[in-house]
Structure 1
Amino acid sequence: MRIIDAQVHIWGSGKPSGQHRQTSVYTAAELIGEMDAAGVDSAVLHPPSWDPHSNEMAIDAAVKYPEKFCSLGWFPLDDPSQRKRIETWKQQPGMVGLRWSLTRDGQETWHQDGTMDWLWPAAEKAGTPIATMAWRFLPRFKQIAERHPNLKLIVDHLGLVRSAQGQDAFATLDDLLPLAKLPNVAIKATGAPGYSQQSYPFRDIQDGLHRIFDAFGPDRFFWGTDLTRMPCSYRQCVTFFTEELPWLNPKDQEKVMGQAVTNWLQWQQP
């Protein structure tokens, strides 16, 4: 089974946000070392916004290790001069889509203040998938997906409450699960251990994960880690899904652990 992490970061400068490792540099070579030790074959890079040159770093990684990496990059949405970049975005090496976390200061209202309004039709026209942390605006996100049925959208980090743990993290489920009825919406099951109040195998979040998986199915439910802020080892992030979830049968497991995300992003690995 080929294992592909749906979200990891590398960076070369800046101050990492939140609970990420507080180091100013984390390289592709360092990441590959950890991937090899954990049994992870490939990964989708998410250039972090704290490093203004992170897109270039991700492109370099995809050029050097094309079998290992593709990327969901970003550009400043609040700068209208940047908008035309979406037309040729996927012509860059390894770039298969775009992603905004919407967690930096001033970004929390972009989904409702008009900053992102141009993005959805432009991305749909360009055939460029968009991923974002939509937990704060899931009903509006559903409306966006309905208006743009040919736009592939990804909800980051299971659509759960970003700062919560245990059952409190799943407070968004009533808004999240209806999104599964829309075939153009997928979900990244990334960062799951960080939502648990317990140690491995994180039993307090297993039922919630099962509900989300049942709604979205194996073709739109992507395993991943957000490695640099996980409270457990990389290998435990893997075995949590491959060994501890009895409802994830072998056929579905192959999709969840890698096949599905490569299909969704149309990543043609060499």
Structure 2
Amino acid sequence: MTGVALSVHPATTFAQPKRVIVDSQVHLWPASTPERPWLPGAKPQLPEPFTIERVIPLMDEAGVDRVVIVPPASLEGERVDYAQEAVKRYPNRFAIMARVTLNKPEGAARLATWRDQPGVLGVRLNFGPDEAAWLTNGTADWFWPAAQKARLPVMFLTSGQTSLFARIAERHPGLTLILDHMGVGAGLRPRADSSQSGKNNQVAEAIAEAAELAKYPNVSVKLSSVPLISTESYPFRDTIPHIQRLFDAYGPERCYWGTDITNSFARATYRQRVTQFTEELPFLTESDKDWVMGRAILARLRWA
């Protein structure tokens, strides 16, 4: 019987695809000049401008591939031209969530072509003290059906009003709602130099309200601005239960890593903000990290 030689090939190895890391919120702004002034009384989050030239090296050093720019409305109003400059110069690295003034319902007509603006993917709303009543007095009512019809993702931030979005999410199931900063608005955050048990209780209550919205499939959450709810130094271990609670509620495809880095610039490096999620959260699998660190926000915003 003639023997048959068997050809043995070495095992083929395949390189794992690189994880795409997307920061779901960064503010960029240039200096105020006579030709391009800030709004009257504007106070930036940092003493110096946070420019395109400044953020690109930070992104490269931290391994961040893309950034969602949220133009700082307190400085620039509804302007998006500087953010669009970033998109033009780095078209594969930046996109924009632009601002709508909700007390101008004539803006509804603009929403149909909102994403035709270069780099713009959706809307960002901030219900601060001056806008809080708009959620209950009818001022904002025109916006939700108009945004749903236009298929516009909407990022939103409140301070203690998160529960009001249950009704909005239920009435407009086709509206993509993205809760900013784990639902913890500026007025609820503790100071890093104090235990402030009262503020910490408010944070826990805000996280609980944010988790309640997970029952609505059209709501998702940005796990962003983490250093601002911590009274500890990096890796901010006191925030891990909050992050895990929201992750357990929403799952990997509805949670998005983000920094809001200019709002807590001195609290951690950009790289540390990445490694907190990739190295310090043991409940996340590698697949979970792929979603949370970038894949999920790209899908939700339809950012190709």
Aligned counterpart for 1:3 among listed residues 14, 21, 26: 21
Structure 2 match to 1:155: 179
TM-score (norm 1): 0.93
Task: Say which SS state the counterpart of residue 135 (structure 2) adopts.
Answer: coil
CA contact (8 A) 1:2 1:41 kept: yes
Flag structure 1 segments of 5+ consecutive residues without an equivalent. none
- Structure number with bigger Rg: 2
- Does residue 251 of the first structure (1) align with residue 275 of the second (2)? no
Identity %: 39
Tell me the distance in 2 between the aligned counterparts of 1:201 and 1:139.
29
TM-score (norm 2): 0.83
Alpha-carbon deviations, 1:207-258, whole Å to 9, x = none? 1111111000000000000010122111111111011110011000011000
Aligned counterpart for 1:101 among listed residues 102, 105, 126: 126
Tell me the distance in 1 between the aligned counterparts of 2:59 and 2:121.
21
CA contact (8 A) 2:78 2:99 kept: no
Tell me the distance in 2 between the aligned counterparts of 1:99 and 1:53.
10
Structure 2 match to 1:208: 242
Tell me the distance in 1 between the aligned counterparts of 2:204 and 2:262.
22
CA contact (8 A) 1:124 1:148 kept: yes
- Does residue 134 of the first structure (1) align with residue 158 of the second (2)? yes
Task: Say which SS state the counterpart of residue 34 (structure 1) adopts.
Answer: helix
Show the 5 A alignment for 1:13-92: 13=32, 14=38, 15-16=42-43, 20-23=45-48, 25-49=49-73, 50-52=75-77, 54-92=79-117
Structure 1 match to 2:8: none
- Number of residues paired by the alignment? 264
Aligned-residue CA RMSD (Å): 1.6
Partner AA of 2:252 in structure 1: P
Aligned counterpart for 2:301 among listed residues 260, 265, 270: 265
Q: Which runs of 4+ in 1 moved over 6 A?
A: none
Task: Say which SS state the counterpart of residue 197 (structure 1) adopts.
Answer: coil
Q: Return closer, same or farther for 1:77/1:53 CA change in 2, 3 Å cut-off.
A: closer
CA contact (8 A) 1:10 1:26 kept: yes
Aligned counterpart for 1:242 among listed residues 260, 278, 291: 278
Alpha-carbon deviations, 1:25-56, whole Å to 9, x = none? 32222111211121111100001112136411
Flag structure 2 segments of 5+ consecutive residues without an equivalent. 1-18, 33-37, 191-199
- Does residue 119 of the first structure (1) align with residue 143 of the second (2)? yes
Tell me the distance in 1 between the aligned counterparts of 2:201 and 2:262.
23
